[in-house]
Amino acid sequence: MATPAEYKNILDSLTTAVLVLGEGLAIKYLNPAAESLFETSITRSQGNPFSDVLVDSRDALKTLHAAAENGQSYTRREAEFCLLSGSRLMVDYSVSPVGIDPNEMLVEIQPRDRLLRISREEDLIAQQETTRILVRGMAHEIKNPLGGIRGAAQLLDRELAGDDQREYTRVIIDEADRLRSLVDRMLGPNKALKLASTNIHEVLERVKTLLEAESRGRIKFCRDYDISLPELQGDKEQLIQAFLNIARNAMEAAFENNHPGEPPMITFRTRVLRQFTIGHIRYRLACRVDVIDNGPGIPQDLLQNIFYPMISGRASGTGLGLSITQSIIGQHHGLVECESEPGKTDFTVFLPLEENK
């Protein structure tokens, strides 16, 4: 016969979120899947009312109270939960009395959007790979004639006697170098990763320091860190570059905020995710980093293509920063997603904290 500890190990291994609620719908137990789903931990939530992890699910809480009072079981389909972070979840959930204590209720929650998210991520990864192959092919075709043009301009420059005429050949050489540099940037980092134990909060703090210097203190930062996050195997310098590209875009967007009395703001948020799938690979532990700005948002027609090279919402932008970021995060077996609405744009980075199991 299994011991209570063995039963707990079974619950902790489930991908279905499981909660046990006590008197007054106070949280008594969360398994790791529930911690990931509600973006919290058992340490932070134990003893707190269930309403502390939900914002606007009054009907759900009212029904839960009624079920607890009457000892009834019920199931809801396609219910929407809103978390304190602002994330919305479409879930199916079942509630049933535990049986040992009449005040205890067992809640099993199955996210409906999980499979949709996995499918979307697989499509995004496939798009990135297609784009990478296209850009590499295009870069090869561009760099070959550029080398010939530059070489011919150098030979011609040596034959010309007057500086007035040489000015034209130097323009050709300079523009060929500029185009070659642009193509190299489109290709993204070409250095092998120097993997080492990396604290993601040190990366974010470095990005924050750089942006504070660039903005001369005009941007307000909000940090919401999960200090329980373990270190990951990553290239610190390249991760700094990846998050700097995201945060620099966020800073420029925040400066376009038109709400009077609301300062430009960027939020850095980190969370640990358990039994989390990135693309089609499931990891026992993963890291989620959100970079949120309060700017005007990204137009929906642009949002779908934001990670393609040369796509930018600003006249002065090159459209390479986010493409390079996606490439760096992809090398770390992670993924970048973006959700945007007026007043809030959230770039979410998922990074595995260990090898997939």
DSSP class of residue 275 equals E
With a cut of 90, say whether residue 349 has pLDDT above it. Answer: yes
Q: Give me the percent of the chain exceeding a pLDDT of 90.
A: 16
> Mean pLDDT, to the nearest integer, of 32-54?
82
Residues 24, 49: contact at Cβ < 8 Å?
Answer: yes
**pTM score of the predicted model:** 0.59
Query: Using CA atoms, how far apart are residues 316 and 175, in angstroms rounded to an integer?
Result: 19
> Mean pLDDT, to the nearest integer, of 209-218?
88
Residues 233, 320: contact at Cβ < 8 Å?
Answer: no
Tokens of 209: 């320091």
With a cut of 80, say whether residue 346 has pLDDT above it. Answer: yes
Contacts of 76 (CB under 8 A, 6+ apart): 60, 63, 92, 93, 94
Report in angstroms the alpha-carbon separations of 353 from 30, 139, 356: 21, 33, 9
Confidence at residue 60, expressed as pLDDT on a 0 to 100 scale = 73
The residue with greater pLDDT, 231 or 156, is: 231
Classify domain 4-111 at the CATH superfamily level.
Answer: PAS domain (3.30.450.20)
Which of 51-60, 198-207, 230-239, 336-345 has the lowest average pLDDT? 51-60
Tokens of 36: 């990931």
Listed ranges 71-80, 148-157, 195-204, 278-287; the one with the highest mean pLDDT: 195-204
Confidence at residue 97, expressed as pLDDT on a 0 to 100 scale = 84
With a cut of 50, say whether residue 167 has pLDDT above it. Answer: yes
The residue with greater pLDDT, 196 or 310, is: 196
Q: Which CATH class is domain 196-352?
A: alpha beta
Q: Can 4-111 and 196-352 be said to share one CATH topology?
A: no
| Centroid of chain to Cα 181 | 28
With a cut of 70, say whether residue 128 has pLDDT above it. Answer: no
Mean confidence (pLDDT) of the chain: 80
> Mean pLDDT, to the nearest integer, of 226-242?
90
Query: Using CA atoms, how far apart are residues 174 and 179, in angstroms rounded to an integer?
Result: 9
Confidence at residue 315, expressed as pLDDT on a 0 to 100 scale = 46
Confidence at residue 125, expressed as pLDDT on a 0 to 100 scale = 65
> Mean pLDDT, to the nearest integer, of 195-199?
91
> Mean pLDDT, to the nearest integer, of 140-160?
80
Which of 86-95, 120-129, 141-150, 153-162 has the lowest average pLDDT? 120-129
Q: Which ranges of 219-320 does DSSP label H, i.e. alpha helix?
A: 236-254, 300-303
Q: Give me the percent of the chain exceeding a pLDDT of 70.
A: 79
Report in angstroms the alpha-carbon separations of 123 from 41, 116, 186, 235, 318: 31, 11, 21, 26, 25
- Under the banding of pLDDT at 50, 70 and 90, the label for residue 291 is very high
Burial of 336 (0-12, 13-18, 19+ CB in 10 A): buried
Domain boundary assignment for the chain: 4-111, 116-187, 196-352
Confidence at residue 61, expressed as pLDDT on a 0 to 100 scale = 74
The residue with greater pLDDT, 86 or 233, is: 233
With a cut of 50, say whether residue 1 has pLDDT above it. Answer: no
With a cut of 60, say whether residue 112 has pLDDT above it. Answer: yes
> Mean pLDDT, to the nearest integer, of 36-43?
82
- Under the banding of pLDDT at 50, 70 and 90, the label for residue 74 is confident
> Mean pLDDT, to the nearest integer, of 91-120?
76
Choose among 205, 209, 229, 227: nearest CA to 219. Answer: 209
